[in-house]
Amino acid sequence: MHQLETVIGYTFKNPSLLETALTHTSYANEAKGRVKHNERLEFLGDSVLSIVVADYLFHHWTDRPEGELTKARAGLVCESALFQFAQEIDLGRYLRLGRGEERGGGRTRPSVVSDAFEALIAALYLDGGMEAARAFILPFITEGKTAGADYKTQLQEVIQQNPEERLRYELEGQTGPDHDKHFKMAVYLNSNLIGRGEGHSKKAAEQAAARQALELMGLVK
């Protein structure tokens, strides 16, 4: 768990909150009630996530109507988006799972991992207040990683229309300490540079590079 604290850049004053956030019901059931599972934290984390996302969209998308804000929020808090966010910190590897859930692939199951992501948000909120939760959430929601904005997939689909074309991503540089890395990625079409991007993870930087490539092609604004 100390390694996860390093990854997220936060040290818990009450480590039991983090332990509970990472504990699936299957693990608690096998322990016969001796440990808490993360379902109550998941419930709270869902609400904390929703208010942070809504607040961000309200203050940064000042010219967008309510319908667009609602659609954007839905894309940022749905299971597929949360699973994508959780993968960026490799959350699945830290989960406490029962033996059956472990054998059944629970560490990579979107429902299990996304629920744990919400539970982690609640643990941060309870331990460090809204600002701790907000500081954790914002890097994910400000880098174009919504379920409806997977720029890498969009770019791949465009390029696949010509089977002879090949896309590749290259790391151009990284800065910062282990818990706060900043990555620069480039995307090439065959040998031609078509986009660059930056982010707090390689995946986020790749998404930004793919978005720039799509912008140059006139496919996104």
Q: What is the CA 170 to chain-centroid distance, rounded?
A: 21
Tell me the C-alpha to C-alpha distance, in Å, between residue 103 and each of 72, 93, 220. 35, 14, 42
Give 31-70 as a DSSP string.
TTTSS--SHHHHHHHHHHHHHHHHHHHHHH-TTS-HHHHH
Could you identify the residue written with the tokens 């229309």?
161
- Active-site residue identified among 101, 115, 118, 150: 118
Closest CA to 131 of 141, 140, 121, 117: 121
Quickly count: other Cβ atoms within 10 Å of residue 202's Cβ: 16
Is 68 one of the catalytic residues? no
- Active-site residue identified among 19, 30, 39, 46: 46
Give 5-35 as a DSSP string.
HHHHT---SSHHHHHHHTB-HHHHHHTTTSS
Is 46 one of the catalytic residues? yes
Q: How far apart are CA 85 and CA 91, in angstroms?
A: 9
CB-count exposure of residue 82 (10 Å: 0-12, 13-18, 19+): buried
Active site residues: 46, 118
